[in-house]
A = this chain, B = another copy of it.
Amino acid sequence: MLNLDRLPYGGDYNPEQWPPPIWDADDAAFDQAHINTVTLGVFAWSLLQPDEQTYDFSSLDAAIDRAERAGRLVVLATPTGAVPPWLASAHPDVMRTDFEGRRHVYGQRHNACPLSPSFARWSVAMADALAARYAGRPSVIAWHIGNEYGGACYCDACARGFRAWLRARYASLDALNTAWNTTFWSHVFTDWDQIVPPNALSEHWRGEDHTAFAGITLDYRRFMTDAMLARFDAEKQAIRRHDPDTPITTNFMGLYRPLDYHRWADALDFASWDNYPPTMHSEARMALTHDLMRGLKQGRPFWLMEQTPSRTASRDVNPVKAPGVMRLWSWQAIAHGADACCFFQMRASRGACEKDHGALLDHSGRTDTRVFTEMAQLGEELERVGGRLLDARTPARVALLYDWDSWWALEMADGPNRKLSYIDVQVAWYTPLWRRGIGVDVVPVDADLSGYDVVLAPALYMIKDDIAERLGAVAARGGTVITGILAGHVDANANTFPMDDPGPLGPLFGVRVDEVDAREPGDRVPVRCPDLDATGDGGLIFELLHPLDEHTQVVARYAGEWFAGTPAATCRHVPARDGDGQAWYLGTLPDEATLDGLLLAAIARHGLCDPAAPAAPGVEHTVRLAPDGRTVHFVLNHGDADVEVPGPVNGQDLLTGRQVRRGAPLALDAHGVCVIEAD
């Protein structure tokens, strides 16, 4: 869709914050840093439209003209991520009502009510005006609608919108009452207007994850996801009236809980996201997130739309990226499927809350800083690699299921253990495979699973549609499916099934959960794995498993507490045409080594691990496959020390030109990167 001959490298640029003399210096600096792409217009609304009647595109005209003269590509944003003061002042319905029930007044950003008629009217008008003016400009390679959609609103308009959404979903109050199990606590609704948004003034206490009725809260999150998507769609349609072809996206936030990105995926022409990991040691988590973003569009490349060149400003403590880390993380994104490497931001704002967020150019504008130098070097590297990686795919024989509904339902549940984090479980399960360079697609539960040898379904709390059957099909053709704690506990409305856990997954996994015990995070229970000849421990959740028959083998047992001896993990042998399929169930959250051992044992028979692949702690190995059949291997050293690993393949390092031999020593500096095009 994006017919590019080079990988976009650049990012957010707001020249309107400075006087024109700065712009020349910026352009020279961008050239020096090999910046080929700028994202323009984000948050420019108050300049582009100073009042209801007036549009003034002069600042944007100038920025685009200048980009084109410099030969740079443009990602053109609708500025609707932050409303202008005049809009909020004249039309207070634009501002949200928060979870506490308080109508907000003007301030901040990302806080327009998605049901506000005024916001709908004026945001669409803005998108329309922008597209009318700039559609067809060859420099504009993509549209970027709004910015980082998120949050929620609880105003009366949203309440009305929610009721309409519910009518469409349930048709009758009887169906709704059944779905929400309203006979509990006398909640049987007899009129649609009795329904109010679930927040601190109605069904919730102690915040967003404590709700009396999971059904209404789940539906409200689905509704909010859809309501914001409707705003995106409306702007997209406005653009499409003038520009039928240029791809349109918006920047996601990766593992962002409030919005179910799988509901959005179809609406985007390509996926893009902003990578701000919570710590400096989030390698596996970032990799998983890239794979999730890639999975939004069936494996098609995504864009890394934002990352910081050096440091963030929004954390309590904001460390800088050490030398090499920015480059390393950039290549990691590309290794996992990114077809663009963009940053927030090209030049640091003088004032307001992001003034200390990293930028290509800091307040001094100097081009001899470490950060600028590293970015220029990376720009040169990417230029050298050119378009060779564009539209490459990532072959994977393993799928990991990621599901917002399960995430939501599990973390809003009363019992068994609120200290369990969905993300933590996902990352824990993903890490052993990541560590060994095994490609993983992170996909929604309704993805086509027919191409995978292994399907991991960690914390598959909610069973929707035919996922049980499709997991069964994987095993029935000889594949391996793995699930565990709290799997199959609830249906699409967060109601339990009238059966033992893991609910509809029981027959496939051949196991019954007799009881679920829970402990504080530090309160570990020993777990014995006879086949691994190892004893580790488990935490948080302890499901007491009962194999249904002799086809289910016990692979781990608890070795402490009153339930010592009880099965903690099992493997079901599923008859298949070519040897057996397998269905593994892990009833606790084991320590890292034990989980590593169990997962690798589970998938060992599929030959996914390349014995010659780089294997050193913190060294990542990833592969992309270009449309023309070339294979590119990425070897990424996330460690702080130089390492030597076996070369993964015969080929040439695209960054240095050096030859790499499969199995021969390959040296990597601390945070070093090697991009090998296979012979």
Contacts and interface: CB of A to CB of B under 8 A. Distances in A.
A351 B181 contact: yes
Contact of A417 (B185, B188, B318, B369): B318
Nearest to A51: B190
A484 interface: no
Interface string A29-56: 0000000000000011111001100000
A183 to B, nearest CB: 5
B109 A185 contact: yes
B369 A193 contact: no
A417 B363 contact: no
Contacts of A604: none
A539 B51 CA distance: 48
A167 interface: no
A319 interface: yes
A322 B562 contact: yes
Interface in A565-602: none
A530 interface: no
Contacts of A421: none
A518 B493 CA distance: 45
Contact of A194 (B89, B198, B205, B413): B89
Given A84-B188, A185-B82, A320 B514 contact: no
A85 B188 contact: yes
Contacts of A184: 14, 17, 43, 349, 351-352, 354
A543 to B, nearest CB: 11
A106 B202 contact: yes
A201 B414 contact: no
A621 interface: no
B353 A496 contact: no
A221 interface: no
A4 B567 CA distance: 45
Contact of A353 (B211, B322, B370, B493): B211
Contact of A351 (B108, B417, B496): B496
A129 interface: no
Contacts of A314: 414-415
Interface residues of A, number: 111
A352 B51 contact: no
A54 to B, nearest CB: 10
Nearest to A213: B352
A1 interface: no
A450 B43 CA distance: 47
A593 B117 CA distance: 63
Contacts of A16: 183
Contact of A415 (B43, B45, B203, B313): B313
A3 interface: no
Nearest to A416: B318
A149 B418 CA distance: 26
A363 to B, nearest CB: 4
B352 A215 contact: yes
Nearest to A353: B414
Contacts of A562: 322-323, 640
15 contacts: A14-B184, A50-B190, A105-B196, A180-B352, A184-B352, A215-B351, A311-B416, A313-B414, A316-B417, A317-B417, A348-B496, A356-B415, A363-B496, A371-B515, A562-B640
Interface of A: 14, 16-17, 43-47, 50-51, 79, 82-86, 88-89, 100-109, 180-191, 193-196, 198, 200-205, 211-215, 310-320, 322-323, 348-357, 363-366, 369-371, 413-419, 490, 493-500, 514-520, 562, 640
